[in-house]
Amino acid sequence: MRHLNSAPETGKFYPLRRRDYALGFVQQLKRPEVPDANTVARHWQADEAMMVPGLLDLQLWRSEIRQSRLLMEQTLETGEVSPILEQPPYSNRLLQNFPLVASSFEEHDEQGIEKIYFDAEIDSAGERVCVAEDLWCKASWLSFIEADASLRFRFSFGIECLEDVAADPERQRWAGHLCDAIFPESAVITANSTINSMLQTVVGGVPAFVERIVYFNAPNGGAQMHHDVERGHDGVVYGQISGSTFWLALGKQVLMDEFISFVGNDSNVDEIERLLPDADARVELKCLSLDRQVLAAYMDEFDHELVEAMMDRSPLFARQLVEHGYGFILHAGDVLLMPQRDSDTCVWHSVICLGDEPGEALSFAVRKAG
Ligand SMILES: [Fe+2]
């Protein structure tokens, strides 16, 4: 892959732009090969991101994917989700197992659009029996930027951010089925025999797809550099359903190496001054780059502006990561696997929407089925 800072005159380059920050231009020179299960396992165990191109068979799910795009567009238009879910085809899909119990507009959460609560019910001996309570689907904006229409639908249960979700695999399973009911195209991952056998090797048993998120990354949108470590989960499988995205994805230790060498490189002095005009901030940045332990802890803080400035807003840092092989371009049908062993080793990643259209993507945590 090639990265340029300024617009090239020839060749198909994608502009990288997220939340009004321009991060240069990338060109895919060659698509990666499809790895076998052993190669995937080797990379996974080494805490490395691994792309598997063209793995998802999307043909069977064309009409569901079209419907999901409509759901996204109607959510953007109306700022509500529950009235859409109470109409066909959603009312029919949810009728069997998932009565809609309540909804909330999440006024305490600036990024929240609407959270819709469901119970899971099954028929047992002629009666309706509740098997899981307090499941939810939450629609949120990905950023506070007016010009970024990216949004996501997240599926989980219980009290957000407080519940130990890994301790209740049965409710996790039902929250996954709720995602299947609203986004049936989830089966391109969950029922994919190649993905299942690759993940079986790395999680050491039958994989379960939990804590699911369905994303719609829009132009000028995407996700800043972050990780997805959560107790009880081994990693994340990401599938591009429509549209295209650019990724930077690499293990935390390698990311720290890259950061340290970037800050220590004299040719980046002007760039660092541009990103951090305050001299005290630059001194602090230098100190961070001299102590790995302090840097590792700082990256885990909620506010880590000094590293965020480099990792999310510098085209030169993006170029360095691309040149060192940590950039990926995903098109519809491609998969990216990202191990999340623990907070020291997890694969950090950032995403940018490519092209003029929003695209759908599935991002599922994976664990051994409980
Ligand atoms: Fe993520």
Domains of the chain, by residue range, sit at 37-251+321-368
Can you say whether the dihedral through the CA atoms of 244, 337, 120, 110 is positive or negative?
Answer: negative
pLDDT at res. 110 = 83
Which amino acid does the sequence have at 96? Q
Ligand 1 centroid, distance to 303 Cα (angstroms): 17
Q: How far apart are CA 109 and CA 270, in angstroms?
A: 37
pLDDT at res. 252 = 98
pLDDT at res. 47 = 96
Confidence at 163, pLDDT banded by 50, 70, 90: confident
**Is 204 or 10 the better-scoring residue by pLDDT?**
204
Compute the average pLDDT of residues 315-334.
97
Which residues are bridge partners to 251 per DSSP? 347
Whether residue 164 is predicted with pLDDT greater than 80 in this model: the reply is no
Number of other CB atoms surrounding residue 193 within 10 Å: 7
Ligand 1 centroid, distance to 328 Cα (angstroms): 14
pLDDT above 70 coverage of the chain, percent: 100
pLDDT at res. 241 = 98
DSSP state of 242: S
Give the dihedral of Cα atoms 164, 170, 174, 180; nearest 10 deg. Answer: 100
Ligand 1 centroid, distance to 223 Cα (angstroms): 8
Whether residue 146 is predicted with pLDDT greater than 90 in this model: the reply is no
Whether residue 129 is predicted with pLDDT greater than 90 in this model: the reply is yes
Ligand 1 centroid, distance to 69 Cα (angstroms): 21
Mean per-residue pLDDT of the chain: 94
114: part of which helix (H) or strand (E)? strand 112-124
CATH class in words for 37-251+321-368: mainly beta
Q: How far apart are CA 42 and CA 37, in angstroms?
A: 9
pLDDT at res. 106 = 80
Ligand 1 centroid, distance to 256 Cα (angstroms): 18
pLDDT at res. 39 = 94
Confidence at 11, pLDDT banded by 50, 70, 90: confident
> Percent helix, strand and coil across the chain, each rounded to 5?
35, 30, 30
pLDDT at res. 143 = 83
Whether residue 153 is predicted with pLDDT greater than 90 in this model: the reply is yes
pLDDT at res. 9 = 75
Whether residue 370 is predicted with pLDDT greater than 80 in this model: the reply is no
Ligand 1 centroid, distance to 235 Cα (angstroms): 10
> 204: helix, coil or strand?
coil
Ligand 1 centroid, distance to 226 Cα (angstroms): 6
Query: Please, is 38 exposed, middle or buried when counting C-beta atoms within 10 Å of its C-beta (0-12, 13-18, 19+)?
Result: exposed
**Of 214, 243, 189, the residue nearest 71 (C-alpha):** 214
Whether residue 162 is predicted with pLDDT greater than 80 in this model: the reply is no
Ligand 1 centroid, distance to 125 Cα (angstroms): 42
Tell whether pTM > 0.85. yes
**Digit-coded pLDDT (tens) for 205-258:** 999 999 999 999 999 999 999 999 988 899 999 999 999 999 999 999 999 999
**Digit-coded pLDDT (tens) for 17-74:** 999 999 999 998 889 999 998 999 999 999 999 999 999 999 999 999 999 999 999 9
Confidence at 167, pLDDT banded by 50, 70, 90: confident
